[in-house]
Amino acid sequence: MQTTVEPIRGTNDPVQSLELSLVVPIFNEEESVGPLVERVVAAMSAYPDQWELILVDDGSTDATLVNARKFVGREGLTLRIVELQRNFGQTAAMQAGIDTARGRLIATMDGDLQNDPKDIPSMVAELERRELDLLVGWRKNRKDGLFLRKIPSWCANYLIGRITGVKLHDYGCSLKIYRASIIKQVKLMGEMHRFIPAWVAGVVPSSRIGEMAVTHHAREHGVSKYGISRTFRVILDLLSVMFFMRYKARPGHFFGSLGLGLGAIAMLILLYLGFDKFIMGNDIGTRPMLMVGVVLLLSSVQMITTGILAEMIARTYYRDDASPNYIVRQIFDDQSQA
């Protein structure tokens, strides 16, 4: 069951005046979570408004949760820890944090100490100055391996920008600032956290999405959760993004267009063979072109009927789209420690 946070209506309630929620998904980061919290507290010490830190433990199997809970109740820190029932993946963990967030603005970052929380106040100021709905971090001087990380990332960023139309240098940077009212209209699924700017572009104009150069550090503890195999998953996810951005509300147009195209080719082939058979008197029973025409005709019918079924599924999806893609076991905060 998903744990929901009910809004508290009170003029003096600090929750109501929260300006910023910082969401950090963590998975097996027992050595990093302590320094992470300390760096966040230090970076946000001069931030003038109310803020909270939300750590989402994505089913860690080490001491990550234990180490994180040591900071609950610390003076000067509003910390909430969302413990997921098992490992659901970074996208689901990020969605859980966003759903739990109570701030007017939401910041997200990785928990491996490669993002620098010192960039958050300046990113918030930049988002407000430019009146953006999403500000994406750009790891301009990225501290990663060239062949396994940088080159695949450059290729992926180029392809994503070309297909989605949202031109950014760095789609993969987790350090982002959102307006909560916008990002909460977007439901993240699968491994689609890499394409958040593309999903947001489906809610607001791309002109309200910007980027800003941020600091990037080399990993200090643990090992990366990503490898070269991620490149292939990105390509598959990119195809899904392209489909959903263009045909999510009208999948029948996608399958129907393919069906009509195949049907047109099939009709041309069969008309030619019909002319050859009935006008020219030639035998067509053993010609491979006849089989090709029949297969294309059947494929056309199949594509069109698939489009009709996809339209029915899409309408069901829009009518009932409230199921979460994660399960919360427990939430730890100041109240739970009291």
Distance, in Å, from the CA atom of 78 to the CA atom of 86, rounded to the nearest integer, reads: 25
**pTM (whole model) above 0.85:** no
CA distances from 134 to 45, 59, 73, 84, 177 (A): 23, 28, 31, 26, 6
Give pLDDT tens digits along the chain (338 positions): 344 444 333 334 445 579 999 999 999 999 999 999 999 999 999 899 999 999 999 999 999 999 999 999 998 899 999 999 999 988 899 999 999 999 999 999 998 888 999 999 999 999 999 999 999 999 888 766 566 566 767 777 777 777 777 888 888 788 999 999 999 998 887 677 778 888 898 889 989 999 999 998 876 665 555 555 556 666 777 777 777 777 776 788 888 889 999 999 999 999 999 999 899 888 888 889 999 999 999 999 999 998 888 877 776 765 555 667 678 888 888 776 65
- DSSP string for residues in 111-150: SSS-B-TTHHHHHHHHHHHTT-SEEEEEETT--S-IIIII
Nearby residues of 120 by Cβ (< 8 Å), 6 or more positions away: 20, 22, 43, 44, 47, 107, 109, 175, 177
User: Considering only CA atoms, which of 58, 49, 61, 62 is closest in space to residue 22?
Assistant: 49
C-beta of residue 187 within 8 angstroms of C-beta of residue 86: no
SS3 (DSSP) at 274: helix
Exposed e or buried b per residue across 36-53, where buried means at least 16 C-beta atoms within 10 angstroms of its C-beta: bbebbbebbeeeeebbbb
